[in-house]
């Protein structure tokens, strides 16, 4: 159905990524509800998706990116920060990892006065969103929309299998289903990839039969500036070109960077930040003050000439605890993967061991550089901002280094290519790590969810923004504390659960 911006939608969704595409599909199941979805990037149909966005072995795409950079830390002052700018959002350009948080991750959400987001509360929604042929029924869904596949050993490259063998040789358990009962150990990755095709949320949740619904309108190429209000009630949005789209309710699903920036431009945020930019304060809330992502450090090796298989790119994972992990927390990842291409390798093949601290203490910030919606926000991750974070990250990098030297894996690897050396002493190694940090690509918590007793909360337990009406945020930005794993399935789950709780769909 064609839609005039001046014809109020029942629900206007800003952003068609991992959450927004799900919401558009779910909310438009009701034929009496007119839903409008505004996406800043191209709104491809299923048949139009470029090959680069379908190939799960290609991560990030310059033609569908927001071109953000961020400050990682004191020695990594500007690092690439890819985010997908296309229908499907970052689920269209990520590595296809499909992992759930652990029960302990959700237990920590209770510290934010959220009693109704336990693992028991969310597991039915994780099960309902997926279809997977393996694993225990108690943990898995068979008929949901999102294909999730646990990689079996025969799907892995020789280097990925050797990585798992090295982990086991060093005392780690063998895990055969990271979305099952046990995560502490090494095994093949779970992915939302089928026959090499990344199953992004636009493909899965907005197929042709959904896009054809007469009460769903999808606009691509529309960048939203701010939310429009009458008093404290949201009545629509204003786009970067000045167009007004009216609505009875607005949902921001523009991601941890985008949703926070739209709120700030709308006068919802810290008073001092807004007044410094000449923005009138509508609601003084701590938007952008609790940013978290997982710091990442890559070591890249040449593959031995007789072991050059590099597909699939993402294959194996070690999920484990540092010596300073608290309780049953698993705070380290070591990811075993292959780059898309390896022209820099003397053998033509390469293997990446990447260490991540997945339970960081540190928080970063997101602020506006100015009022122009086409200007990127100022993103400061403040990675390794505490001594404990630095010690644990160093432990993870040493673990990756030791695995590369293990008898099971070392014969498959050639020279270390990136960085050019891994110093033996802790001070030198820490400098190398801090100078070469990367994003894991899981930004959260810029618009945190929390109960009445949580001073950090911007939205309530169902995404409603405090102090205003008819405005919700539903995406990774509302996660109150970053989980110890990748965030795509969690973002989808948030959309599924909130749409069910609020709209009953």
Q: Express each pLDDT in 61-109 by its tens digit.
A: 999 999 999 999 999 999 999 999 999 999 999 999 999 999 999 999 9
User: Can you give the pLDDT at residue 231?
Assistant: 98
Q: For residue 4, is pLDDT > 90? A: no
Q: For residue 224, is pLDDT > 50? A: yes
Residues that are catalytic:
442
Rounded Cα–Cα distance for residues 12 and 20 (Å): 10
User: Can you give the pLDDT at residue 398?
Assistant: 98
Rounded Cα–Cα distance for residues 357 and 293 (Å): 9
Q: How confident is the model at residue 7 (pLDDT cuts 50, 70, 90)?
A: confident
User: Can you give the pLDDT at residue 49?
Assistant: 97
Q: Express each pLDDT in 251-286 by its tens digit.
A: 999 999 999 999 999 999 999 999 999 999 999 999
Q: For residue 6, is pLDDT > 90? A: no
Cβ atoms of residues 199 and 453 within 8 Å: no
| Interacting residues of 472 by C-beta distance below 8 A, sequence separation 6+ | 249, 250, 251, 252, 459, 462, 463, 464, 465, 498, 502
Q: How confident is the model at residue 321 (pLDDT cuts 50, 70, 90)?
A: very high
Cβ atoms of residues 314 and 335 within 8 Å: yes
Closest of 232, 224, 227 to residue 247, by C-alpha: 227
User: Can you give the pLDDT at residue 3?
Assistant: 52
Which residues make beta-bridge pairs with 486? none
Q: For residue 162, is pLDDT > 70? A: yes
Residues 412-422: what's their mean pLDDT?
Answer: 96
**Torsion angle of the four alpha carbons 168, 409, 311, 415, in this order, in degrees rounded to the nearest 10:** 150
Rounded Cα–Cα distance for residues 181 and 184 (Å): 10
DSSP string of 403-452? Answer: HHHSTTTGGGEEEEEESS---SSHHHHHHHHHTS-EE-S--B-SS-B--T
Q: For residue 505, is pLDDT > 80? A: no
Q: For residue 1, is pLDDT > 70? A: no
- Which residue ranges form the domains of the chain, and what is each CATH number? 11-71+83-98+198-290+443-503 (3.50.50.60), 152-188+295-359+384-436 (3.30.410.40)
User: Can you give the pLDDT at residue 264?
Assistant: 98
Q: Express each pLDDT in 106-157 by its tens digit.
A: 999 999 999 999 999 999 999 999 999 999 999 999 999 999 999 999 999 9
Residues 211-219: what's their mean pLDDT?
Answer: 98
Cβ atoms of residues 234 and 244 within 8 Å: no
Q: For residue 308, is pLDDT > 80? A: yes
| Interacting residues of 75 by C-beta distance below 8 A, sequence separation 6+ | 431, 434, 435, 437
Q: For residue 186, is pLDDT > 60? A: yes
Report which secondary-structure segment, H or E, holds 314. strand 314-320
């Amino acid at each position: 159905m064609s839609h005039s911006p001046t014809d109020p939608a029942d629900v206007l969704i800003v952003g068609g990524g991992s959450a927004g595409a799900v919401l558009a599909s779910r909310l438009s199941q009701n034929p009496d509800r007119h839903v409008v979805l505004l996406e800043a990037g191209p709104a491809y149909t299923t048949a139009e998706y470029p090959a680069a966005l379908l190939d799960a072995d290609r991560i990030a795409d310059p033609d569908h990116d927001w071109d953000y950079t961020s400050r990682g830390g004191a020695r990594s002052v500007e690092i690439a920060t890819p985010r997908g700018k296309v229908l499907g959002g970052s689920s269209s350009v990520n590595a296809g990892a499909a992992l759930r948080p652990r029960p302990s991750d959700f237990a920590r959400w209770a510290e934010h006065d959220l009693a109704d987001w336990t693992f028991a509360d969310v597991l039915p929604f994780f099960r309902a969103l997926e279809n997977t042929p393996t694993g225990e029924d108690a943990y898995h869904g068979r008929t949901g929309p999102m294909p999730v596949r646990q990689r079996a050993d025969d799907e892995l490259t020789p280097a990925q299998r050797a990585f798992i063998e090295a982990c086991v040789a060093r005392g780690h358990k063998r895990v055969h289903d990271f979305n099952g009962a046990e995560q502490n150990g090494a095994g093949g990755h779970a992915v939302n990839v089928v026959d090499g095709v990344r199953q992004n949320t636009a493909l899965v949740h907005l197929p042709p039969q959904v896009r054809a619904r007469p009460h769903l309108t999808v606009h691509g190429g529309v960048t939203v500036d701010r939310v429009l209000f009458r008093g404290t009630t949201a009545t629509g949005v204003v786009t970067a070109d000045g167009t007004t789209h009216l609505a009875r309710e607005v949902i921001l699903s523009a991601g941890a960077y985008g949703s926070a920036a739209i709120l700030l431009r709308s006068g919802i945020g810290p008073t001092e930040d807004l007044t410094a930019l000449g923005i009138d304060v509508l609601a003084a809330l701590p938007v952008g003050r609790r940013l978290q992502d997982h710091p990442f450090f890559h070591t890249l090796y040449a593959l031995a000439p007789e072991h050059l298989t590099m597909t699939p790119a993402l294959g194996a994972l070690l999920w484990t605890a540092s010596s300073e992990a608290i309780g049953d927390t698993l705070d380290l990842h070591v990811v075993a993967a292959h780059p898309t291409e390896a022209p820099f390798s003397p053998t033509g093949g390469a293997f990446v061991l990447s260490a991540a601290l997945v339970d960081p203490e540190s928080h970063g910030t997101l602020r506006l550089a100015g009022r122009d919606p086409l200007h990127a926000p100022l993103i400061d991750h403040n990675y390794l901002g505490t001594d404990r974070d630095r010690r644990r990250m160093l432990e993870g990098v040493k673990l990756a280094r030791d695995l590369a030297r293990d008898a099971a894996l070392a014969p498959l690897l050639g020279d270390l290519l990136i960085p050019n050396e891994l110093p033996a002493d802790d001070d030198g190694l820490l400098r190398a790590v801090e100078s070469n940090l990367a994003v894991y690509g899981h930004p959260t918590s810029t618009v945190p969810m929390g109960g009445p007793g949580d001073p950090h909360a911007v939205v309530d337990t169902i995404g409603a923004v405090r102090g205003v009406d008819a405005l919700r945020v539903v995406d990774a930005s509302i996660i109150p504390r970053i989980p110890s794993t990748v965030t795509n399935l969690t973002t989808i789950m948030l959309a599924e659960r909130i749409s069910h709780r609020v709209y009953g769909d």
